[in-house]
Amino acid sequence: SIAILLYLTRKFKTPDHWYPSDLQKRARVDEYLSWQHVNIRGKGSKLFLTKVLLPLLTGQPLSPKKLEGVTEELNVVLKQFEEKFLQDKPFIAGSEVSLADLVALVELMQPVGAGYNLFEERPKLAEWRRRVEEAVGKQLFQEAHEGILNIQNL
C-alpha cells in the first residue's frame, strides 16, 4: 500500500530521491500516487483480471470485444501518464527515480504479465522502464516480477 511505502521511507530514512524532501518534487510524487489508484492501477488490474483471472476462474473464453474495450481504457491512461507525468523527464519527479516510478512500473507489469506488451509501441515508456529497472537493479526487478510474468503458465 502507498501508506506503508511512505511509512517505510520515513522509518528507515531512505535516500531522499525515493520520497524527496524538496516540496515540488514531493508534490509531484504525491500527485502521481493519488492519481494512479483509479488510473494505472485500476485499468491495468482490470486488463489482468479480464484477460487472465476471469477465464481461469470461469473456464470461459474471453470476449474479444470485452478485451478490446478494457485495452483501450488502459491505453487512454497510458497516454495521460506519458503526457502529464513523464513529459520529457527521465523520471516522474525529475532526474531521479522515486516511489512514484516504482509504483507505476509495478502496476504496469500486471498487463505485461497478462500478455499485453504495452511498452512495444511506446518508446518513451520503454525508455522510462529501462531507467527504472536500472535504478532498482535488473536482477532484483526480474526476481520481484517473476510470478506475475509467468502467470500465464498456470
CATH number of 1-7+23-153: 1.20.1050.10
The tens digit of pLDDT for each residue in 35-63 reads: 999 999 999 999 999 998 888 889 887 88
Q: Write down the domain spans for the chain.
A: 1-7+23-153
d(CA 5, CA 11): 10
The tens digit of pLDDT for each residue in 126-153 reads: 999 999 999 999 999 999 988 888 876 6
The tens digit of pLDDT for each residue in 109-128 reads: 999 999 999 999 999 999 99
Long-range contacts of 150-153 (CB under 8 A, 24+ apart): 150/113, 151/52, 151/113, 151/114, 152/52, 152/113, 152/114, 152/115
